[in-house]
Amino acid sequence: MRRTSFADWPCSIARTMDLLGDWWTPLVLREAFYGIRRFDAFQRELGIARNTLTDRLRRLVDEGLLEKRPYQRDPVRFDYVLTEKGRDFFGVLAAMNQWGDRWLAGADGPPVLFHHERCGQDSHAEVVCAGCGEPMTAADTRPRIGPGYPRRLAERADVRRRFGD
């Protein structure tokens, strides 16, 4: 079955989902944030098929979120290390974790806590305005056409209505 590509859609959410592709990719990235670096360790922790893991790691390397670094020569084996682009994905995972803690955690509470080393507190992600520092919610935030939105689409009346421009 062919997958629809969202890589060229004028939407960063769609483009991110195109990169992720499926549920395994964020879990591979989660394990990388937890310190997993080796193929066998990813496989053991996730219970993922070798061919699926190979595909996901290859994609993450090709997209620049992970870097392959050899740790053994004969046979050649690699560590998979987060790049700057990969480390920057932490906010996405932290936001997903917070949402899951709020809506999906059982009666015992969150299964994993995030400990902020700088202040020594267990904490969680919050989406705040970069301009004023106040929380951003769907009720007080609206999308606007940005400079990267295709001009040919931005001029359409239905698009202008949707974005309120």
Task: Outline where DSSP puts E strands in 21-119.
Answer: 66-73, 76-82, 114-116
pLDDT tens string 17-31: 888 888 999 999 999
**Residue 132: CB atoms within 10 Å:** 8
Comparing C-alpha atoms, which of 22, 56, 23 is closest to residue 42? 56
Residue carrying the six token digits 């949402």: 99
- One-letter amino acid at 158 equals D
Q: What is the CATH number of domain 12-87?
A: 1.10.10.10
Write down the mean pLDDT value for the chain: 93
Cα separation, 106 vs 114, in Å, equals: 17
pLDDT tens string 73-130: 999 999 999 999 999 999 999 999 999 999 999 999 999 999 999 999 999 999 999 9
**For the chain, which residues make up each domain, given as ranges?**
12-87, 90-126
Has this prediction a pTM greater than 0.75? yes
